[in-house]
């Protein structure tokens, strides 16, 4: 139950109001879209993960880099944006269209796109020109490499149903990892806004 709760709370990331230290206010719609996306990923399950045990793989999610205390706020936003962008790209391919229920997949794509739009607006407020290289270094680059590994895995497994199921579960896990990052941002925000 705690895992499901963390999955539902993960997208709340930086939605703590106009007084937040990030200088942006993600709408309640952003939070609701994130929750809906995780529910949709859960509903997309077509096979029991136990049936696909032989296809399991450790994709080496860069959890320490993503959840570690060394991330600055702009980096954290960049990492979250990259996670959403790569998830959107993964589920916006011709091969993914063949693997999933079309209605659920369209809803997931729409929800991820909505969240990306919200984060784009936030990133524009937080990042200046000097921060434009954040996507090419450190934690954001680690997230890109992680998703490259997922693409390679799918290709090696010839986009089998089990491979897609393993990837669906992995994406749910990676998106839920943002819960720790969210908590860290809240603590920073609280420190900066305390008297």
The string of pLDDT tens digits covering residues 111-123 is 999 888 888 877 7
Average the pLDDT over 9-34 and give the result.
51
- Is pLDDT of 160 > 70? yes
* Residue 136: Cβ within 10 Å count: 10
Phi-psi sector, 82: left (phi>0), alpha (psi -120 to 50), beta? alpha
- pLDDT, residue 12, reads 40
Average pLDDT, the chain: 76
Percent of the chain clearing pLDDT 70 (strictly above): 65
- Is pLDDT of 68 > 70? no
CA angle 151, 159, 102 (to 5 degrees): 100
Phi-psi sector, 194: left (phi>0), alpha (psi -120 to 50), beta? beta
CA 157, CA 152: separation in Å to the nearest integer?
A: 9
- pLDDT, residue 49, reads 78
Q: What's the pLDDT tens digit per position in 101-150?
A: 999 999 999 999 988 888 887 777 766 544 555 555 688 899 999 999 99
Q: What's the pLDDT tens digit per position in 71-104?
A: 777 787 788 889 999 999 999 988 888 889 999 9
DSSP 84-152: HHHHHHHTTSHHHHHHS-HHHHHHHHHHHHHHHHHHHHHHHHH--GGGGGGGGSHHHHHHHHHHHHHHH
Taking CA atoms, 71 is separated from 65, 109, 164, in Å, by 8, 28, 31
Average the pLDDT over 8-25 and give the result.
43
- Is pLDDT of 177 > 50? yes
pTM: 0.78
- Is pLDDT of 30 > 60? yes
Given a contact cutoff of 8 angstroms between Cβ atoms, the answer to whether 173 and 10 are in contact is no
Hey, what are 53's tokens?
Answer: 């045990």
CA 14, CA 121: separation in Å to the nearest integer?
A: 12
């Amino acid at each position: 139950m705690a895992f499901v709760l963390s999955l539902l709370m993960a997208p709340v990331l930086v939605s703590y109001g106009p007084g937040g230290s990030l200088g942006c206010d993600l709408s309640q719609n952003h939070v609701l879209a994130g929750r809906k996306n995780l529910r949709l990923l859960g509903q997309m399950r077509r096979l029991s993960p136990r049936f696909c045990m032989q296809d399991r793989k450790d994709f080496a999610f860069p959890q320490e880099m993503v959840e570690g205390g060394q991330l600055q706020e702009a980096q954290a936003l960049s990492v979250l944006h990259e996670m959403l962008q790569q998830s959107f790209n993964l589920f916006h391919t011709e091969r993914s269209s063949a693997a999933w229920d079309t209605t659920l997949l369209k809803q997931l794509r729409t929800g991820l796109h909505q969240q990306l739009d919200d984060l784009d607006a936030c990133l524009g407020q937080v990042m200046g020109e000097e921060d434009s290289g954040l996507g090419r270094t450190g934690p954001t680059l680690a997230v890109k490499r992680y998703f490259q590994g997922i693409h390679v895995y799918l290709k090696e497994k010839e986009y089998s149903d089990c491979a897609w199921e393993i990837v669906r579960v992995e994406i749910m896990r990676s998106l839920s990892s943002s819960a720790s990052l969210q908590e860290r941002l809240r603590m920073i925000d609280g420190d900066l806004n305390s008297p």
